[in-house]
Amino acid sequence: MLRLLLLLGGVLGCAAEQAAPLAFTMLQLTRVYRGNSMFRGNASLNGQLSHVLEGNNVTQVLPLEPPDVWARRQDEVITYLGNFRQLVMLFHKERPTDFTHHLCCHLGCRLYPNGTAQSFYEVTLNRTAFLSFHVPSATWERRWPGELPVAAYAQQQLMKYPITTQDLQYFLNTTCVSILQAQSARTGKVSGRSRTPLVLGLVLGSLGLLGMALGIFLCTGGSC
């Protein structure tokens, strides 16, 4: 009986391992204090670290793009981070604050063996659930416990623009999933050259949304 149970457990364990979904996830962290911004983050493709954001630079860990193409992507990210820092400094001059703010964006998608997919985008502010994106309907939902005017204001602003609604929905439902569909479960390699720039597009897209969400909070000074 013991042998049978062990055998059954092994079979179930193998089945569970085979049923594990492929995943592409990103974690984007920003810390703001007295007008200064600090950035950290990473992206992982099926468990493999693909990109790292640290300070003013983003690094391609997996060779997803040729060096010349990647150099242009790096320049775009560095330019964006510089503009973001200047914007935060401007907000701080208008409405100074001594509080430290932590904004975290966690997004990605999962592709299951039966072909179904699940996408998500979650935002926390100061380590508390702030907003989440309901991908099927392309709508933002408040997650902050209790009433917080800035959460309602941020939700309204994010719902105004295609880049933070329909475009984000397309990234998560189509772009992100297509990356996983190109991923070989057996070899762990990415196939399809046309899909490589999409990874970087998602990186830049998340940075843009992060900047907008944080800018809304700083601009309102925590109240509306």
CATH of the domain at 145: 3.30.500.10
Distances (CA, A) of 75 to 29, 65, 67: 20, 14, 12
Rounded CA separation 93/36 (Å): 11
Rounded CA separation 17/34 (Å): 47
Nearest of 124, 130, 81, 127 to residue 105 by alpha carbon: 124
Q: 31 lies in a domain?
A: yes
- Write down the pLDDT at residue 120: 94
Q: Is the pLDDT of residue 50 over 50?
A: yes
What is this structure's pTM?
0.76
Rounded CA separation 37/39 (Å): 7
Cα separation of the two ends of the chain: 67
- Write down the pLDDT at residue 182: 76
How many domains does one find in the chain? 1
Q: 173 lies in a domain?
A: yes
Average pLDDT on 105-109 reads 90
Lowest-confidence segment of 82-91, 176-185, 194-203, 207-216 by average pLDDT: 194-203
Q: 211 lies in a domain?
A: no
Lowest-confidence segment of 3-12, 167-176, 213-222 by average pLDDT: 3-12
Q: 8 lies in a domain?
A: no
Q: 95 lies in a domain?
A: yes
Q: Is the pLDDT of residue 7 over 50?
A: no
**Most confident by average pLDDT, 98-112, 152-166, 198-212:** 98-112
Structure tokens of 213?
């969400």
Q: 205 lies in a domain?
A: no
Q: Is the pLDDT of residue 210 over 70?
A: no
Structure tokens of 62?
């997996």
Q: In this prediction, what percent of the chain has a pLDDT beyond 70?
A: 72
Strand 128-134 and strand 117-125: the pairing is antiparallel
Q: Is the pLDDT of residue 167 over 50?
A: yes
Q: 1 lies in a domain?
A: no
Q: 72 lies in a domain?
A: yes
- Show the domain range for 118: 22-189
